[in-house]
C-alpha cells in the first residue's frame, strides 16, 4: 500500500469514528513557532501557568516525543451545541458542558492508531489530547485543518472553531497536506468583544488576562479585584471571542452523545449555583472538565460574579 492509499484510509476511518477533519503534516522542528513561544513566555503572558514553560524542547520537536517521528496526524472533533444554560445563570464554556473530552477523544485516537497498525504493520506512535507538550494548533494549521484566527483559536471555513484538537505522532511517512488561507480579513470582532483586553493585538493573546485563565488556571484563593465586573457571568472558561466570530455562524451541532450536557446543568438557576455544596458538585460534574477547578475553585468563581 502506498502513502496516498494509506493516508486516504486513515482519513476515512477518522471520519467513521466521528472526527470532523483529519490532516497530516511532516514531523519536523517547529522553528518559527519556537521563537514565538519563547517570546510569549519571556513576556510572562502565561501568568501563573508555569507548566507552559516546561518541556520546551519537546513542544517544538516531535522526535523527542516519538523516536524517528515522520508524520503528525491532526484531528478535529466538533463539540458545538445549541443547548444552552438558562439566561442570567453563571456560565460554563461550551466545551465543558459534557464529559471530559480527554477521555472521549483519546479513546477514538487509540482506535485510529490500532487501525493504522492493522493496515501498515507495527509502527511506533503516540496519541495526544491536550495533555502533553504538543503545539496542537501549530500542527493543525500545518495539516490544513484550518487557520489560526486573531483570537489564536484554530478556525475552519466549514465549521468554525467549536472543536477539540488532537494528534497522533508516528514514525511512518504519509501523504502530507498543505496549510489553508487565513480568512479573517479585516474583521476584529473577537478583539473588540474581549472584556478583559486579553487579545491585545491581532493573533496575540495575553493568557494572564483571559477569563478562562482566571476561572480555570488560576489557583489563588482570590481573583484580582481589578477584574470585578468584567467576566460577563462566566464561571468556568469563556466563549465570548467564539460567540462573536462570524465564521461560527456555520457551526453545526455535534453528534457525540458524551459531549451533551445534562438537563440538570442546563436548567440550574442562580440560586441553585449559590447553594451548590461539595457533594452536589461531585455528582453534577462527575467525569466533567469542570472538576479541574475543584469545588472550592468553582465556588470562588461563583462568588466573584456577585
Give the domain ranges of the chain: 3-170, 189-251+262-304
pLDDT tens per residue, range 171-193: 999 999 999 999 999 999 999 99
Average pLDDT estimate for 239-267: 96
Quick check: pTM over 0.85?
yes
Per-residue pLDDT, 157: 87
Residues identified as active-site:
130
Closest CA to 163 of 81, 286, 52: 81
pLDDT for residue 265 is more than 90:
yes
Q: What is the pLDDT of residues 28-53, one digit of tens each?
A: 999 999 999 999 999 999 999 999 88
Amino acid at each position: 500500500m502506498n502513502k496516498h492509499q494509506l493516508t486516504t484510509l486513515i482519513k476515512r476511518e477518522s471520519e467513521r469514528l466521528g472526527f470532523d477533519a483529519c490532516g497530516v503534516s511532516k514531523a519536523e522542528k517547529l522553528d518559527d513557532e519556537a521563537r514565538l513561544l519563547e517570546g510569549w513566555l519571556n513576556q510572562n503572558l502565561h501568568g501563573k501557568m508555569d507548566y507552559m514553560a516546561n518541556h520546551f524542547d519537546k513542544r517544538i520537536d516531535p522526535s523527542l516525543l516519538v523516536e524517528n517521528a515522520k508524520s503528525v496526524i491532526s484531528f478535529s472533533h466538533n463539540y458545538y451545541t445549541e443547548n444552552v444554560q438558562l439566561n442570567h445563570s453563571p456560565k460554563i464554556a461550551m466545551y465543558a458542558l459534557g464529559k471530559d473530552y480527554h477521555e472521549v477523544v483519546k479513546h477514538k485516537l487509540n482506535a485510529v492508531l490500532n487501525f493504522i497498525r492493522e493496515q501498515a504493520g507495527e509502527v511506533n506512535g503516540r496519541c495526544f489530547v491536550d495533555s502533553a507538550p504538543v503545539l496542537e494548533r501549530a500542527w493543525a494549521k500545518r495539516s490544513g485543518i484550518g487557520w489560526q484566527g486573531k483570537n489564536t483559536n484554530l478556525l475552519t471555513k466549514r465549521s468554525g472553531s467549536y472543536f477539540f484538537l488532537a494528534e497522533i505522532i508516528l514514525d511512518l511517512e504519509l501523504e502530507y497536506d498543505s496549510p489553508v488561507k487565513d480568512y479573517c480579513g479585516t474583521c476584529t470582532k473577537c478583539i473588540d468583544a474581549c472584556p478583559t483586553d486579553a487579545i491585545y493585538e491581532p493573533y496575540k493573546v495575553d493568557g494572564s488576562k483571559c477569563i478562562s485563565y482566571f476561572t480555570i488556571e488560576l489557583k489563588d484563593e482570590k481573583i484580582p479585584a481589578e477584574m470585578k465586573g468584567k467576566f460577563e457571568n462566566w464561571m468556568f472558561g469563556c466563549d465570548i471571542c467564539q460567540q462573536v466570530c462570524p465564521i461560527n455562524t456555520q457551526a453545526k451541532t455535534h453528534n457525540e452523545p458524551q459531549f451533551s450536557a445534562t438537563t440538570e446543568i442546563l436548567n440550574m438557576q442562580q440560586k441553585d449555583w449559590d447553594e451548590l455544596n461539595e457533594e452536589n458538585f461531585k455528582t453534577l460534574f462527575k467525569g466533567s472538565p469542570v472538576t479541574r477547578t475543584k469545588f472550592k475553585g468553582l465556588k470562588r468563581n461563583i462568588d466573584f460574579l456577585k
